[in-house]
Amino acid sequence: MTVLAAPDGTVTACSDGAARLFGRTAPAAVGARLADLFGPACAEPLAAALKQAAAGRPWRGALPLDGGALEVSCDPMAAGSGRTLVALTVAPPWADGLELLNEAGRRIGSTLDLHRTAAEIVGVTVPRFADAGAIYVLEALLADGRPAPPAAGPGASAAVVRRLAVAFAEDDPSSWAREFPVNEVIVYPPGTPYARCVSTARMVEFGSDAIPDTILHRTPETAAGLLDHVSLLAVPLVARGRVLGFAVFSRKRGRLPFGPADTALAAELASRAATCVDNACLYRREHRTVAALQAGLKPGRVAAPAGLEIAHRYVPAGGDVGGDWYDVVPLPDERVAVVIGDSVGHGVTAAAAMGQLRIAAHTLARGGLPPAQVLTRLDAIAQGLDAAQFATCLCLVCDPVTMRCELACAGHPPPLLALPGGTARHFAVPHGLPLGVSDPAHPAEYEQVTGTIPAGATLAFYTDGLVESRMRHVDEGIARLASALVASQSASLDRTADGVLALLADQQGHDDIALLLVRATGPGTG
């Protein structure tokens, strides 16, 4: 935490960490006098330190503050035009401060899960720094994903927050956890320390006499225990200039109350925690957006023409949403087109590409284009998407009367054909470049082949999430899928689909999975 000041103590620049120590924003600290910011107790030694540093001699020592002291270094810094400024650096604010900050850097933000991030924050601070701690995030940020508003200033409205994590340094913290459950939504009225912390974006120190009635209205035992917490801090979680919520730290009677060094440490911890909470909120918002986009673009009820039975399953990954998609398009003369694809990557980019390609494929197939031409047109569309975006795709057109199929492939895993006799094999498909890979001046050419689905056989289309993983090669995964298809054969195609996913359950959770089964129920030939 560093401050640049003129020799007379006027602040010329200020880091965010140092500004939080003063209880104001960095721009608000510029132009103020250091003696006013630190308090009158340090005025005389601070003036001597600045004078020594301005003369070219670094100064190291402790500045006395009301209720404590801060380790500070003052170093001369040339500012051009013969001027000298003083760089005042505040050392870690207590003996174990640097160690605690290092531990916080290692432990906080290990994932993008919001609740886990909040639990990591209180896990670092309790009981080493405080006897109890909790993390609250604005409910509006969680409910609809809206960015947190800028600090509104004094006199703002109530604070509506959700408790994401809580920790108590007690022999039996379970009873406290029951009284203060995670995910509880609380409304703190204006004027309470918590509402003031949110509205001003400043740390608020208070004692047990200022604990809001909304908290004290608990069981008598819990209320009595709360009143034993005599020193409390409400520390705002501020990221990118916006208040996300606040952290609460408290110390019980018999332990030294929070002093200036502790509030400086709390401000630094909150700053690091806010960045991690902000990242988790951004990820949560993007994930919800992508999931909604993908859900809206997936086909709902799939209508199969006479002579065919169709079952389809989509299993999202546990983390980032991918770009898997499929479609079944009715065509004239009772024919049907089946399209399945996978946009590379995860997140908004993959979902957006998936949406554009799926709609384009549906339109092209609906217009009567044969599979090879559908892929050629899709390739041209993919080249106009993000430069790093490409996709695999497979397109098939089937006549359920003859079971004759025409198909073309753009880098997609080949379909599998499960025969009634209990065997499975690859369904012949030509190899082609993925969509969007070729040079626009030399577009990819896709070969189209013809095949026939035997009566009673099941044709399986799938994305690589079902057959590929870090633990096994894709060829091994396809062989496992073939075995699962044979083992799951049932009179009900839906049961077959469920059986395949159950047998390959170890594939789920790592990547999105799409599975589409087509069974010939008509008089097809062998």
CATH number reported for the structural domain that contains residue 433 in this entry: 3.60.40.10
Helix (H) or strand (E) segment spanning residue 49: helix 43-54
Q: What is the CATH number of the domain that holds 121?
A: 3.30.450.40
Q: Are residues 18 and 141 in the same domain?
A: no
Domain annotation covers residue 487: yes
What's the total number of domains in the chain?
Answer: 3
pLDDT for residue 525: 39
Looking at the structure, do residues 171 and 273 belong to the same domain, yes or no? yes
The SS3 call for residue 53 is helix
Under 8 Å CB-to-CB from 315, ≥6 apart: which residues?
A: 465, 501, 508, 512, 513, 515
Residue 295: inside a domain: no
Please indicate, yes or no, whether residues 106 and 36 belong to a single structural domain of this protein.
Answer: no
Residues 80 and 155 both lie in one domain: no
Does 394 reside within a domain? yes
- The answer to whether residue 179 sits within a structural domain is yes
In the sheet that holds 336-346, the strands lie side by side as: 322-330, 336-346, 391-399, 404-410, 449-452
Quick one: pLDDT at residue 280?
84
Q: 63, 90, 117: which is the final residue of a domain?
A: 90
- Distance, in Å, from the CA atom of 324 to the CA atom of 318, rounded to the nearest integer, reads 14
| Same-domain status, 342 and 367 | yes
| pLDDT number for residue 524 | 43
Of the three residues 25, 60, 90, the one that is the final residue of a domain is: 90
Residue of 164, 175, 171, 92 whose CA lies nearest to 123: 164
Task: Tell me phi and psi for residue 90, to 5 degrees.
Answer: -90, 125
Residues in the chain where the model's pLDDT stays below 70: 17-21, 23, 66-68, 91-98, 144-156, 171-173, 212-225, 286-287, 289-301, 318-322, 345-350, 386-389, 522-526
Question: What is the rounded distance in angstroms from the CA atom of residue 22 to the CA atom of residue 257?
Answer: 18
The per-residue pLDDT for 428 is 84
Domain boundary among 68, 90, 112: 90
Q: For residue 266, tell me if it sits in a domain.
A: yes
Q: Report which DSSP code applies to 186.
A: E
Is there a domain that residue 526 lies in?
Answer: no
Which residues are CB-contacts of 261 (< 8 A; sequence separation ≥ 6)?
68, 69, 70, 93, 94, 97
Range of the domain at 138: 96-289
- Considering the domain architecture, whether residues 331 and 253 belong to the same structural domain is answered as no
One domain, residues 70 and 156:
no
Model pTM?
A: 0.54
Does residue 443 sit in the same domain as residue 306? yes
